[in-house]
Structures are given as C-alpha cells and as structure tokens.
Amino acid sequence: MKKISIKIIGLGGVGSVLCGRIARFLNYAKDIDSTLTLVDGDTYETKNYERQEFTQMGNKAEIKAGDIEDQFPRLNLDFFPSYINDANITNVILNGDIVFLCVDNHKTRMITSNYCKNLNNVTLISGGNEFTDGNVQLYVREGGKDLTPDLCAYHPEIADPVDKLPEEMSCEELAQSDPQLYFVNVWVATLMCGVFYNVVISNKIEASEIYFDMKQMSVIAQSRALK
C-alpha cells in the first residue's frame, strides 16, 4: 500500500477544479492510502461561481474539505484556513509531501519553492495562467538532492517577485483582479493532474515544465538542466 500526503494550496479557479479530480482519483485508488490537506485563507463569494467549483460561501479550505468529504468518504481529509507565509509554512508542508501549488502570486511561489529546498524529499507541482495560456512547473527533491530545477531557477519573475502576498494587499488591491477564463484554469488543473500521475504514480519525470496555449491548441514539455 503506497502512503502519500498531499497538500493543495490555493482553492480558487485552478485549485477548486484540481481538488475534485485528485480526490476522485485517490478515493478509488485501492493501493494508495492518502491524506489530503486543503490550504487557503480566502473566502468563497457569489462572484466566484463563474470560475470556481464550490457549494457554499465560507472559508475556501473548510468549504472544499466538507464538499470532498461528502463525495469521497474514503479519503483522510484536513484543512488549514490560512494563506501560506514564511511563518506558517513549516507547519503546512512536511518532508515527503506532494504539494499542488495553485496560487495567484509569485511571492507565494517563491516562498514555497525556497522552503522546499530545505526538505529532503518533496514533490512540488505549481500551476499558473494568464488569459489564454499558462504553465505547470515540477520541482522534485529526493534524498536531499534536486531532481529537477526549483521554481525560481529559470524564472526571475518568481525568484524576485514584484507582487504581494494576499495578506499584504489592501482591500482595494484585493478587489481588483485580472480577468481569467474558466477553461484555462481547467487546462492548468488537468496538466497538474497529468504531472502528478507521471511522477507519483508512474515514477517518471518526463519534463520539468509544461507550457500550453489554448488559442494555439499547443502543449510543449521542456526539460532543463539543474543549476
């Protein structure tokens, strides 16, 4: 029986879609004993119905955990109703975890990637998008060594982010949001599921980054050298 601990950080457009897919897979995977922890400090509101999958208003981690528990009773579930930051990340991500990072700011990506560099074993699958395109990055550490580049290695915009953590933003800043397409969020979530299956279930690292473009209908996987 394979034992895995999964953390899904961010339960918005990408995370709320991803969560249901991963939960369904794990619930019916007879040879996997899994724990699923959902992490988000944000709240579901009426305006989120357009792109995000949830059943009622409230803290995203708590609501989504309840939804998953009702639908997939075989899973061991937990939730953490706060945004990730430097202070609490040590309580959230543990050695050996598989982490899905579905956030909307590079500062959280940078904090998470840098923290993971201190763990002996971790699989970090991070997804993000713009209006019609996006990418998924894979960072794997095993036995204290990088198997793939970390999120910052080839992305200076993540290594040195100009954006802020959600808890650092003013109400006005939080109210502003760039438009997104539901279908593009679904592309990101689906590719993250595919990466999870390849790496965790099939033990294959095919690429460290995957780009997609919904307008061009193209997907490109890239492997890069460790720095």
Partner 1 sequence: MANEYTRENLEGMNLKELRRLCVDNLGLPGLTKKRKDVVIDAILLADGNPDVSDKLEGIAFDGHSVMTKPSAAFGQKTTTTIRVSCGASTGAFPVEGKSVAEVGEFLREVLNVDKLSTGLVNGKEVSGDYELKVGDSLEFMKPSGRKGC
- Cα–Cα distance between 107 and 110 in angstroms, integer? 5
Report in angstroms how near the CB of residue 17 gets to partner 1 at its nearest.
10
DSSP 116-155: HTTSSSEEEEEEEE-SSEEEEEEEEEETTEESS--TTTT-
Closer of 51 and 141 to partner 1 (Cβ): 51
Closer of 122 and 158 to partner 1 (Cβ): 158
- Cα–Cα distance between 126 and 136 in angstroms, integer? 6
Report in angstroms how near the CB of residue 60 gets to partner 1 at its nearest.
9
Report in angstroms how near the CB of residue 145 gets to partner 1 at its nearest.
18
- Cα–Cα distance between 206 and 208 in angstroms, integer? 7
- Which residues are at the interface with partner 1 (CB under 8 A)? 10, 12-15, 42, 102-106, 109, 127-130, 133-135, 137, 151, 154-155, 157-158, 163, 178, 180, 185, 188, 211-213, 216, 218-220, 222-225, 227
Closer of 91 and 223 to partner 1 (Cβ): 223
Helix (H, G, I), strand (E, B) or coil at 163: coil
Q: Please report where in the chains the tokens 């080839």 appear, as a residue.
A: 154
Report in angstroms how near the CB of residue 27 gets to partner 1 at its nearest.
24
- Cα–Cα distance between 168 and 126 in angstroms, integer? 21
Closer of 120 and 130 to partner 1 (Cβ): 130
Closer of 60 and 141 to partner 1 (Cβ): 60
Report in angstroms how near the CB of residue 129 gets to partner 1 at its nearest.
4
Q: At what angle do helices 15-27 and 60-71 cross, to 10 degrees?
A: 30
Look at residues 121, 122, 159, 138 and name the one whose alpha carbon lies nearest to residue 223.
Answer: 138
